[in-house]
Each structure stands twice: as C-alpha cells, then as structure tokens.
Structure 1
C-alpha cells in the first residue's frame, strides 16, 4: 500500500523552535512556508530556555568583548569570523523581538532592558524575560506564525527522512545532489506524507535525549543531524556535549533546569555539610564556565558518593528571589522546596550539543537546497563549549541569515515527480517493547560510558553496543511500518554513533570533552569532522520506496 498524500511548499521547515519560527516569519511575506512540529508548536527546547539572549546592549560592553568571551569559553575551536558575525547582529535581533512585543524584563530605575550576567561573560549582557525567556519569546512568535496566511503548521508530525535526487529518485548519473523535501509521518493517523519543497530548513533541535538525564524536552532526539548525515552531509564536533551543571534533583521533577541566572545573581554551590567547593576548581567560583562547574560537581558527587549537591540563594531577600526567579520559585515550592529558606538539590544533566550539521554563514549545508540552523547546526560559533545564552542568539541570527539567503537566491528548481512512501513490503510491528527497551538501554549506557568524564575503554564499549542495537533497529525499520518512537530511536542510535566516534577521534581533553586517557590539551585546536562517504554507516534505508 502506498501513502498518496502529497504537499507542495516553497520552504519546508522541520522544527518549531526559535530558529525555525524566526526563519518562517522572515520568509512568509514572500514564500509559502510549511512548518513540521513533532508535538505542539510550543514543545521545543527554546520554550524551556530560562536564561536569555546574549547581546551587546550597553555602552560599557562591546562586540569585541562578546567575541572574546565566546572564544575563551570555546576552547580554541570557535571560528572568530562566525563569532563576530553573530555578536554584531545581537542588538538587531533583540530590537526585532522587542518590535514583536516580547515582554523582556526592565530595570526598575532606568526602564531599559534589565541585563543580567552569566558564567563566562565579562559584562552584563543577557536580555531576559524574568527566568522564562524562552517561553516568552516562543509564545510571542507562535502567535505571529499562526496568524500568518502564508504559513501552514503540521503539529504532531515527525520527519522520517529527507528526499534527495540520488537516494530517492535513484539519479546516479548526476554530479550534484539536491534536497527535494521530506517524508513526514502523521503521528495520529500513521500515514506518511510526501512533502515537495524548493528549500528545506532543518531546525530540529539537539540530541540530548540520547542521555539518561537531560534538561531537554522529549523531542530532542537528533532528528536533523541524523537525517542530514544519511543524506550525505558532514557533521562536526559531536563529542562536545554540554552538561548543564544544575538540573533540579527530585524524583517528581522531570528535566527541570535551575538557570545559570541563579548563580549569576549570587547563588552558591554547596556540599551536604554546607561547605563550598567551586573556589578549589576555578578562581571565578560559581561563575566559571559550565564545563568546569559540571565537572567539579560530577567529581565531588563521585568522590563522596552523594546523589547531588546544593545551590543556595536563600541569603537573598524573599522579594528578590520571587521577582527574579518566579518560575524556579514556583516549581520548587510545588515540590516542597522553599528556595527563600532552603537549598536547591541539583545534578548535572545533558543540555546542549555544540556540534551538528556543518554550515556556512548563510546556513547552507553540503547538500544543495538544504539548510540547518539552531542546535541542529554546527556553525563554528560554540567551538568546544558554548557560552551561556549564545544559543538563542544564534537561532535568531542564523534564522534571519537563512531567510535572507533564500529570498536573494534565484529559483533554479526543476519540478520532480517524487516517489510516494511505499509500505507494500512491510507489516505492523508486533513487538513495540523492543523499541522501549532499546531506548532505555541506549540512554543508560550513553550516560555511564559517554558522560562528563570519558575513557577509551568506556567509549569502545559504548560503540560496540551501539553497533549491535543499530543492526537490530535497522532490521526492525526495514520490515515494519514506521512509528514515531521507531523514527526517534533510529535517529538517536545514529547520533550516538557520531558522538562516540567523534570522542574516540579526539586524543586530548578540550572544552566539554574530558578524557582520562588524554588529560592534556594539544597545542593546535582542530574540529572533528565526520564525512559520510568515509564512515561506516547504514545509508541504505530505502524502506521499500
């Protein structure tokens, strides 16, 4: 049986986070845009971002200072040209959000934007909406997107794979290859839709659900990276996974982040006996960059056999705490923790991927007519570690850059008769439990073997398990109808393989990658670039079509 529904659009955007919505709004006056959202439009990592957007907004600050802070935290792997490009567009991005009426916090005295300071920043430059910046921005942009006549939103749909000339049309004689759209699964009906697009933008977020503990929502399963890799795009720096130092540790709290702002405004990290420890690891104490703070917490927990450490902001006045951290205060209070009087139990958790699909300054990937933005992309901005609040800024700047490039490009698109998704040789799965068990096993051994501190032995053990599971899932994918969970598991196994192979390839400790076997840093910093043609990977996923 073939799924016969076909949709046509000018631009297909896979993902509904800040990067995707920014591009959609910048394009929609001139192009027909189709947004594919795995759940509701607001279910993205952007929605969960508490901190804010880093941008040079005061006379005391400078673009040069922002670039230097980005490069310092990036551990020698930040591309200076990209850092300058992003930092120099910061104010413009904030002004655009302000014009859309995003309710940013204001200073009580000056009534200008209230700027806070986070770890790694030399100045107060983080524009925020209290402690729920992502939610405020996403809610504002979502309303704009829903109201625009040229934007169609497919909620509760997941992209299965990209459609390319070589793989999908079997056109082997052509020298170049291009993206023609994607196959998209309707989660509710189980039907696969063929989407034909002149341009496709991957804005599908990060990979953090490959780990047992994460601050990310369930949608962060590396879909964009995996699809681009299968389509022939290079990926880079996948070993650099940022573990946020302070995720709320509570059995009833799923993935709740305790924002960097708490430490930025004076929060102190403590052991169960009340003693502080961060000064022993870095002169900046609690305001050291995330990788240093996360490793320090991880070390103290393992050394002392404790389940968590504590973050204390109770020395500040209750009014200050409630006004600056209303979301954190309310959530903790629901769980019986009054942060005006009590310490917050915290643990590190997978938070952000600094690597991804390689792009240029226009967001273009190796595949013609395919772009990647946001956490899916590797632009060169973050290097070996991301400076706090640079991620939302990157989404805004590259969301605009991609839209600008598409609008300025001549349409050289030839119309193709795309093959429909063919399920004539597959059956309904009788054992969905395999998917659940494999998912749980993958996330657990990735946490244990490919976490904050790594060893060769652990990495090789993880890779061995990944290859076994990947072969099992490939067989499952080939013989049974696709489902939301199967698509995500397939993608997670692919990004897990890329993370581990990249970690094995790096014979040093740098930024977010810390190896016990290679504790020193090499003199020359080089990105880890993976190329599909040189890499053993199951690329033959035709699934009968």
Structure 2
C-alpha cells in the first residue's frame, strides 16, 4: 500500500528522532522540514538513555583552551584540532540554547549550574539534568519544542530503508512502516540515526541501533571514517538485562572505586586510576574479568546513603537488580557504548554525496579522534545541529519532476544474527585472525538480501577498518599490534572497498590461518 505525501515534496528530510535530529529540526525553523522517525519521538533513541551530561567550559576555573587540551589528549592523536576548537568554543552557547528550548539543568546551591567531573577532564565542566537522567530530560524538553513548532512535520512509525540517488545526488527517501511504504522526494537529507551498539551482545544502546544511518549512507556511495573506533563504557551494570543499564562515569567522578571480589582496588596504579581515559579503564576491567575475577563499583565510602539522592535513576536500576549501593558494591562490566566513527563529514556536516548531511553519533567530524572524551558527544550533537541546519538551509532545493520509485522498500533489518560475529571480533581486545574470520563470515550476509544484510554491511566495514589499522590507539586495541604507530592517520572506507577486501580475504583461506 502506498501513501501520497506529495505535499511534503522538496522539503529537507531529517532521519532520526534523537537529540541531533530534534535540534536540527528546531534550528531550521521556520523553514518547513520533515522529521522521520521509526519510533514515536522520545523512544528507541540512545539520547534518551544518556546519563552523562554535556561538557562545556563554563566554570570560573575553566576555559575552552583547557577543554580543547583534554579532548585532544583523550583522542590519542586522531582529533581534528580545528574541529575540536570550534566545538569547545561553541559549547557554552549550546547549553544556553538548550535552556531556551526548555531543558531544566541541575543547579547548585547558589543557583549556578551544577558542574560534575568525569574521566579525563581536568575541570568540573559536565552539565547534567535530573541527576543522571540527562538524556531523558533533554528528550522531554526537545520533543515538546518540536511538537509545538508548526514548521516541523513529524512522520512517526516509518523507518528509512533506502536513500534514492540520481546522477550522484540525493533524490529521495524510501521508508516503510506498518501502514505501508512511503517515498519522500527531496534533494536534502540529514542523517541523525545514532550509533552501532545494537551490533554487540553487551551494549548500553537500544538494541535496534545497529548503524542504520551508516548503511543508508554506504549504500548511497558515501565515504565513512574511523569505523574501527568503538568506545566501551567500563561500568555497565552486570546483569541479564539488554540493553545494559549504565552506571554513569559521574559516579566515579564523585569518588567511587573499582574493586574485585576480594575487595582489591585493582586499577589503583593506572594513570588517573578510575578516572583514567575510558579505553584504558575498560581494558583494565576487561582483563581482570578475563582472569576469572568479578568487578564491582564501590560507592559505599564516597556516597553511602546519599547515593539515591545524588543518582536516583541509577539507584532505581540497582534496586531492580536487588542491589543497594549504600551497602552493596555494584557489579559491572564493559559494554559497547559509543561509536567514534561514522559518515565522513566536513565542518558543515556535509558528506561525500551531494545533498546528504550527517549529525550526531552517525557522523564522524574529527572531534572524538580515537577515544571520545566523556560527555563531548551530546555537546557535539547540539553544536553540529546548528551548523548542519545553516548549511541545509543555505542549499537550494533541486525540484525533480519525476523520481524513480522502487517497487518495494528493502527488508526490515535485524542485527541478531550479526551480534555473535561482531561481539568477539570487534570487542575490547582484537586480533587479526578473528577480524579476518569475521570478514569472511559477514561477506555473504552483506551481499545478500535477508534481514541481516544491512547490519552485516555495517559490521563488515567496521571489521575491515579494524583489520587495516595495524596498531593500538585509543579505543582500538590489537593484541597482535600492541604498539602505537608513530604516524597518526584517520581511516576512510566505502562499502565497495570493504566488499572487495573481504572477497580477497575469503579467496585466500590459507593466508588467514597462517
């Protein structure tokens, strides 16, 4: 069944109902735009689950220069310094913008914003809302703002399945929902679809977030960057629930320590200890678990009975699991949390395909480098949304009298089959043999037309990118290449290149086992 949405023809289409998509739509007002979301706004978005806040140098002892230095240090040589400087300088204004949209940030006793500390930050500069429920408050306020903005047409319940390209330029979006297929003719599309955590068994992201935007962009011929860099949060609540509940880094910022079942603080000698960079803490926890230990986050001494008041959302998660952080250490383990890689974009968020922009976690701007500094991602989404909106608005719409409408939208994607391949190969620690085996296994899936095709295509590009990077840097750690290369380089890849590389690997099985 088809629907006539010709009245929306020519309007920019923003795909994704998380923070990046909502702010982009709001920033484009009063220009009419279409906001396309597979789920009702506020649901199935990683933004809603965010416990960390937004990093911004607004404290009296802070500055954009210090924020810049911390970001570059965490990025392990791969940050684009020009991009970092622009984002950190724009961060304080982003906080004010969100307050204008109705976000209620936490306030200190003197009514100024309460500033938290997180790993690898040299100052307290993390702005939170509702304790550790920042994402929920952001989505509440922004969804309400979008609903009352008449220039935004929200189309919910339709999932973008394909970008239509004619003569190398975006021509439309092919979407599908419970009511049938939908084709939106447009020459301007913004991807704001989130990350790739759903490709992993252990993740803090919604399980449906498998890199849909990456698949859409890659099938349209776009170049992608830094796909090998996946950040694992070191302290996800260790239990059966998926997605895993996150124990925010802000808890460690308040003095919580990591211990094992014997009570030993096993990361005490790590630079920064529990507040070291996320990649080093995650690897430390992973290795301790691999040795047969259990790992716990201990808040008894630093927070004790005040835990529930300071972190009510996390306290409720613990209560569901039968844990009282005032008297019980919290069992934790690393989980896939954030993707530093994404669609390669310029300073305006433009991709290599004409008419296609990307914003938020789906984009690779060069801000995060090899390892994201905590709470920089929400800040980036808000800041970049403004720049993307300006760029899209300044680009004239190319009206098309006709558009080739596909017979049917591609099959609904399901990452379940791919998780068992991705989780061991692209985990906290990697090696060439596992990556080559994964590439060979993913290749026929990515070439096929089943529900696993799109997740497999995304995973294949990530695997090939990880295989090509023969060093350990930031969140990418190769057991067979443990040293950091003297030359820092960002990676670029297309789907065609990934398929060709995997085919070559598959054709030489002896080399794979050598």
Q: TM-score range by the shorter chain?
A: over 0.9
SS of the aligned residue for 1:322 comes to helix
Matched, 1:501 2:455: no
Contact 1:321 1:329 in 2 (8 A): yes
Measured after TM superposition, the shift of residue 312 of structure 1 is 0.8
Q: Which residue does 1:294 correspond to in 2?
A: 282
The aligned runs of 1:296-445 (5 Å cut-off) are: 296-303=284-291, 305-306=292-293, 308-318=294-304, 320-409=306-395, 411=396, 413-423=398-408, 439-445=415-421
Extract structure 1 runs of 4+ deviating beyond 4 A: 532-535
SS of the aligned residue for 1:536 comes to helix
SS of the aligned residue for 1:278 comes to coil
Q: Which residue does 1:233 correspond to in 2?
A: 222
Q: Which residue does 1:53 correspond to in 2?
A: 54
CA distance in 2, matches of 1:420, 1:525: 44
Q: 2:271 aligns with which of 262, 276, 283?
A: 283
Q: 2:173 aligns with which of 182, 203, 209?
A: 182
Q: 1:45 to 1:252 in 2, by over 3 A?
A: closer
Measured after TM superposition, the shift of residue 255 of structure 1 is 1.7
The aligned runs of 1:97-108 (5 Å cut-off) are: 97-108=98-109
Q: Which residue does 1:531 correspond to in 2?
A: 494
Contact 2:457 2:495 in 1 (8 A): no
Matched, 1:115 2:115: yes
Measured after TM superposition, the shift of residue 533 of structure 1 is 5.3
Contact 1:40 1:156 in 2 (8 A): yes
Q: Which residue does 1:124 correspond to in 2?
A: 124
Measured after TM superposition, the shift of residue 251 of structure 1 is 2.2
Q: Which residue does 2:509 correspond to in 1?
A: none
The aligned runs of 1:193-208 (5 Å cut-off) are: 193-208=182-197
Q: Deviations over 1:27-77 (max 9, x none)?
A: 121x21111112121121011100100001012101111111111000100
Matched, 1:42 2:27: no
Measured after TM superposition, the shift of residue 467 of structure 1 is 1.1
Measured after TM superposition, the shift of residue 180 of structure 1 is 1.8
Q: Deviations over 1:337-370 (max 9, x none)?
A: 1111111111100011100101011101111111
CA RMSD of the aligned region, Å?
Answer: 1.9
| TM-score (structure 2 length as normaliser) | 0.93
CA distance in 1, matches of 2:277, 2:255: 15
CA distance in 1, matches of 2:246, 2:135: 12
Q: Which residue does 1:480 correspond to in 2?
A: none
Contact 1:217 1:255 in 2 (8 A): no
Q: Tell me, which stretches of 5 or more residues in structure 1 are unaligned?
A: 167-176, 477-485, 539-545
Q: 1:219 to 1:408 in 2, by over 3 A?
A: same
Q: Which residue does 1:453 correspond to in 2?
A: 429
SS of the aligned residue for 1:346 comes to strand
CA distance in 2, matches of 1:283, 1:462: 33
Deviates more, 1:3-12 or 1:369-378: 3-12
Measured after TM superposition, the shift of residue 254 of structure 1 is 3.7
CA distance in 2, matches of 1:214, 1:125: 26
Matched, 1:511 2:474: yes
SS of the aligned residue for 2:399 comes to coil
Q: Which residue does 2:508 correspond to in 1?
A: none
Q: How many pairs were matched up?
A: 497
Measured after TM superposition, the shift of residue 466 of structure 1 is 0.5
CA distance in 2, matches of 1:369, 1:210: 28
Deviates more, 1:392-401 or 1:196-205: 196-205
CA distance in 2, matches of 1:6, 1:252: 40
Q: Tell me, which stretches of 5 or more residues in structure 2 are unaligned?
A: 502-514
Contact 2:296 2:330 in 1 (8 A): yes
Contact 2:279 2:475 in 1 (8 A): yes
Contact 1:450 1:462 in 2 (8 A): no
Measured after TM superposition, the shift of residue 323 of structure 1 is 2.2
Measured after TM superposition, the shift of residue 417 of structure 1 is 1.1
Contact 1:159 1:185 in 2 (8 A): yes
Q: 1:73 to 1:234 in 2, by over 3 A?
A: same
Contact 1:252 1:335 in 2 (8 A): no
